Each structure stands twice: as structure tokens, then as C-alpha cells.
Amino acid sequence: MPASFDAIYTSVLILVCLVLGGLVLLLFTRVYSDQKQRRSKVVLENFRRIFHDRLSGSQTKTVMTKELIFRDSDYDDLAYVYLCHDDLLNGEARIFLRNLALDLSLDVYAQDMLKNRVKTHQLLLGLAVAGKLGLSSCLPNIKALIGVSDASISFQAAKSLIEIEQSLLGEILESMIVRVDWSISKCEMILRKIDQEKLKNKLNELVLSGRYGNSVRMIFICGMVQNNLSLLKHFLSEDQDEDTLAVSIRAMNDVESLPQIRVLLRHRSWVVRCQAAKFLERFALQEDIPLLAELLADKYWWVRYRAALALSSLPGVDLSSMAADYKLDTGNLGLLESVGLGQWFIPENSKGVQG
């Protein structure tokens, strides 16, 4: 028997062993994850039972019984369950929940996770729990994590930091503008937790400093503040480029800006006209009807569409007579478009449903 045959034979044996080993590993993984799932379910049920007792006034001696109910290995699940509940509750129930979390030593868990820099998901859990519980003892560890390159960790650190204290607000806002890997929708989640006046002042400083020019991200972040005209008026002047104007109008949420926006309904750029019409969907007054009706005959579909929507948001507007007044010659597009939203009626000249 040649040596090469022996080599192949041995390799086959090794491979078959590997395959069988792989199969065992696969089945073991399945059994292990099934067990883990079952345990997670038990943790959830126990947590809910204790919480329900707390809420209903029957003070289960959680501190006495927790060792019996929860194991050390349950704390990842427990932290997760706590966060799920915290996101869904408010008012007094949330205070009960917080006290329960402290009784269950979730604060100690969070501190451990932050100190020991464990696995990423545990670190994220630790950060989130520390933020929800307002653990100021964790501040140095959290601050150290804001600058890390991993976006999920740095973002969660910023969020938790804001929940605990807001002294680093300026730096966090700058990070929001610079760090494109923090999605803008997530940034809003942080901004909602901050005192709006304080936020406005800090942002105003940033806008006036001119450090970030007409950064789209900065404009969007300004747009997340309530009554933001004072922040955005700088970007709304007609000499700004069309992108800045469009983004600023989209970000605007202050009715006081209506006079400035009306002027932009006749801007040379259709993108700006479209955004201005969209703004009027929320804030239009009766006196805006003629301006909006003009836009029903705009060359661009999006502008017509938004104008029709804005008009349909005003009470007592009769689009069919308006079509006659303004001699809409493009198949009553404005009408069709509003009908397209299913809000109005089937126009007589519509070709209707055809096979």
C-alpha cells in the first residue's frame, strides 16, 4: 500500500472525526441555546411577578428571595428585561421599576461591566443600565468610552452620560455633528432627554461660532429642538444655497417662521419650493391659499403634490372650483393628486379603474 494512500486514509479519518465533532458541537449549541432561552423566559417571568407584586402593593421580599430566584449568570438577561420595561413605562411605575432594579443589584452589575470591559454586548448593557439608573459613580468609566471608535459603544456612552448629567453637553453635540457613524435618528433619542432651553443655548453657541459652516447634520440637529427659529433663521436667508435652504426648511418646526417660508414658495429652485409647501402642510393659514393654489400648476410633480396636500389640510378649501379659477390645464393634476391620497373623491374626468 503506497504511502500516499495511508496519508489520504489518515486524512479521511481525521475529517470524519471533525465532521462528527462538528455535528456534536452543532447539537450541543442547539441544546445550550434552547436551555438559555428557557432560562431567559424564567428570568422574565420572575421579574414580572416581582414587579407586579411591587406595583400591587404586596411587598415581596425581593432582597431576601433574589438569590433563590436569580443566578449570577442571569444578570445579562435581567438587565435586558429591566431595559425593556423601562422603555415602556413612565410615571410612578417607572420609579417602582428603578427601585426594583436597585434591589436586584443591577447597579453593581453595571459597575462591574464598565470596570471590567467585558464583551461588547455586556458593555452596552452596563452602559444602558448605568444611564437608566443614573449611576454617577460610573461617570469616569462612561466618559472614557465616548471617544472610542466603535460607534455603538461611543453612542451608548453619550446617551448614558446625558441621562446621568449634562455637563458635557457641548462636547456631545460636537460629536453628533462630526461623528457620521452616529445615525441622526439615534441622535434625536439623546436630544429628547435634554432640557430644551439649555440645548438651544449650546447649539446657538455652535452655530454662531461658524466652526461647522452649513453642516447638514448641524442643521438637522438644530431642527430637533423645539421652537427652533432662533437657531435656524441664520440658514434661511435667500442668499443661502438651495441645499442649505431646503434642509433648513425641512428641519424647521416653528410657526413663527411662516413669513420667511412664504417668501420661499416662489424660490427659483423646485427643491426649496417643495420643502416650503411641505412646511405649509403643517402650518398653513387661510391667507396662504392663493400662494398654494399657484403651486398646483408648478412644473414639478413634487411641488404640486405637496401644495395639494397643504391645501387639503386647510378647512373649507374646494379644490374643484380652484382648478377652474386657476385654469389648471394639466388634467387637473392637483385634484388627481389629492385624490391619490384617498382623502377626497373620484373626479369625473378620471379615467378610473380599467382592466
Partner 1 sequence: VVHSGKFQGSSGVSQDVAFFFSLIFVGYFFGLNISYLALNIAAYKELLRYKSNHFLETLPLHGARHEIPISVLVPAYNEENTIVGSIRSLLQLEYPEFEVVVINDGSKDGMLKNLIDAFRLYEFEEYYEPALECRKIIRIFRSFEHPNLRVIDKENGGKADALNAGINVSHYPLVCVVDADSVLDRKALGMIVRPFLEDRNTIVAGGTIRIANGCRIEQGHVVSTALPQNILARFQVNEYLRAFLFGRLGWDSLNAILIISGAFGLFRKREVIEVSGYRENTIGEDMELILRLHIHCISRSRPYSIHFVHDPICWTEAPESLRVLKNQRIRWQRGLLESMAGNLKLAFMKNSGYAGKLAFPFFLIFEAFGPFIEVFGFFLMLYCGVVGAFSFSYFLAIMLFTISLGVLLSLSALYLEERASRTYSKPADLLKLFFIAVLENLGYRQLLSCWRIMGFFKWLFRTKQSWGDMTRKKILSN
Binding residues for partner 1, rule: CB under 8 A, are 2, 4-5, 8-9, 11-12, 15-16, 18-19, 22-23, 25-27, 29-31, 33, 80, 83-84, 87-88, 119-121, 124-125, 128, 150-153, 156, 180-181, 183-186, 188-189, 220, 299-302, 330-331, 333, 336, 339-342, 346, 350-355
Query: Is the Cβ of residue 167 or residue 185 nearer to partner 1 in the bound state?
Result: 185
Query: Is the Cβ of residue 55 or residue 151 nearer to partner 1 in the bound state?
Result: 151
Q: Which of 267, 264, 252 is nearest to 288 (CA)?
A: 264
Query: Is the Cβ of residue 181 or residue 318 nearer to partner 1 in the bound state?
Result: 181
- Residue 99 CB, shortest distance to partner 1, in Å, is 21
The burial of 53, by beta-carbon neighbours within 10 Å (0-12 exposed, 13-18 middle, 19 or more buried), is given as middle
- Residue 167 CB, shortest distance to partner 1, in Å, is 24
- Residue 191 CB, shortest distance to partner 1, in Å, is 11
- Residue 170 CB, shortest distance to partner 1, in Å, is 23
Distance CA 164, CA 111 (A): 14
Cα–Cα distances in Å, from 51 out to 40, 47, 101, 348?
A: 16, 6, 10, 61
Query: Is the Cβ of residue 86 or residue 254 nearer to partner 1 in the bound state?
Result: 86
- Residue 321 CB, shortest distance to partner 1, in Å, is 21
The burial of 238, by beta-carbon neighbours within 10 Å (0-12 exposed, 13-18 middle, 19 or more buried), is given as exposed
Distance CA 231, CA 355 (A): 54
Query: Is the Cβ of residue 9 or residue 266 nearer to partner 1 in the bound state?
Result: 9
Distance CA 76, CA 121 (A): 9
Grid coordinates given for 260: 420667511
